[in-house]
Amino acid sequence: MLDFKKNFSEFQKRNIQVIAASVDPLEKARETVSKHKLSFIVGYGLNAKEVSAKTGAFYHEKDGYLHATGYIVDPEAKIVNGVYSTMNVGRLVAKDCLGLIDYLRKKQ
C-alpha cells in the first residue's frame, strides 16, 4: 500500500481510482489509514472465504485471512489483470500498474 501511496498523484493525474480492501474490522482499517496517512479508499470487513470463492484469491484456512491479491479493473468493472501471491513477492507495484494502464489506453 505504501508504494501506491507514494505514487498516488500519478494515478490521480490519469483519473484512476486506487482502492484497497481487507478482512480487518473498521477500527483496524482506520488505524492503517491513519498510521500510513493513506489518501485512497480502504475497505474493511471483507468475508475472506466469500472473496476467495468469488475471485480465486488464496485463503489461509488456519488463520482466516486472504493472501495478497491485486487487480487492475477497467471502467466496465472487468478484471484485466489479477495477481495472486502467497508470499511477499509477486505483488502488483504502482509503476507496473501505471505502465500497463497507459499501454491499454493507447491500444484503445
C-alpha cell belonging to residue 87:
508470499
Structure confidence at residue 88 (pLDDT): 83
> Which secondary structure element, helix H or strand E, spans residue 99, and what is its range?
helix 94-107
Fold of 2-107: Glutaredoxin (3.40.30)
Structure confidence at residue 33 (pLDDT): 96
14-21: which pairs have CB atoms within 8 A and are 24 or more residues apart? 14/98, 14/101, 14/102, 16/98, 16/101, 17/41, 19/43, 21/46
Q: CA-to-CA distance for 71 and 18, rounded, in angstroms?
A: 10
Q: pLDDT, tens digit, for every residue of 4-24?
A: 999 999 999 999 999 999 999
Q: pLDDT, tens digit, for every residue of 57-104?
A: 999 999 888 999 999 999 999 999 999 998 888 899 999 999 999 999
Stretch 48-57: mean pLDDT, rounded? Answer: 93
**pTM surpassing 0.95?**
no
| Beta partners for residue 69, in sequence order | 84
Q: CA-to-CA distance for 79 and 54, rounded, in angstroms?
A: 12
